[in-house]
Chains A and B, each alone.
Chain A
Amino acid sequence: GQQLNQSPQSMFIQEGEDVSMNCTSSSIFNTWLWYKQDPGEGPVLLIALYKAGELTSNGRLTAQFGITRKDSFLNISASIPSDVGIYFCAGPEKNSGGSNYKLTFGKGTLLTVNP
């Protein structure tokens, strides 16, 4: 199956700093999703991207769908302590029968924000 590589693996920043993380794939995606997972909780969808070159914002979060369709970026501006968590990129991959899409997730970027 497709592989998603996220970087960096972890980040430790000061409150108020901006953060940038990215995700690359071994093949083309037609959708990119960014999820956040708080400790002890399930992932929550932050942003969905549907078109190459698309730039979408959700509050202090901005994500971009790369032109090559093989990468995506997530930026967080003016970080706050509640931004702590693991950020996952995900993309749809056809199942073996070709009749359905399933989500493939990256390994995540662990963000720690120091107050």
Chain B
Amino acid sequence: EAGVAQSPRYKIIEKRQSVAFWCNPISGHATLYWYQQILGQGPKLLIQFQNNGVVDDSQLPKDRFSAERLKGVDSTLKIQPAKLEDSAVYLCASSLFRASGSIGAKNIQYFGAGTRLSVL
């Protein structure tokens, strides 16, 4: 079974530039997550999709970050314009179902390798 695919693996940009990341979840997984992982920290959820709808984007800085999952499969996360503090690893994860009750085997999240973003 193919895992969560992310690209690019690395990106270096200057502040105020734009950048986009792409994620293809595990086939058949309805729920997709984007996380930001700053060096020395655990992943922090930015946005969660259920199929092509947003379930939770409460921690997404909406003035500069946007994400879409138009056809309910792959997803893109965009930053425009980037700031120095956006330097981090952006992780995508997917699960079969979302956790509306509690966490169980069917909503365990599987992570991609991430995109490491450096903003200079």
Query: Mostly helix, strand, loop or mixed at chain B's interface?
Result: loop
Closest to A4 in B: B42
Task: Please give the number of chain B residues whose Cβ is less than 8 angstroms from any Cβ of chain A in the complex.
Answer: 29
Contact (A43, B43) CB under 8 Å given A95-B56, A100-B56: yes
A33 to B114 CA separation, bound complex (whole angstroms) = 20
Closest to B101 in A: A101
Whether a CB of chain B sits under 8 angstroms from the CB of A42 is yes
A40 to B6 CA separation, bound complex (whole angstroms) = 12
Contact (A90, B102) CB under 8 Å given A42-B112, A95-B56: no
Whether a CB of chain A sits under 8 angstroms from the CB of B21 is no
Contact (A50, B56) CB under 8 Å given A103-B109, A107-B40: no
The one of B91, B103, B110, B111 that contacts A48, using a Cβ cutoff of 8 Å: B103
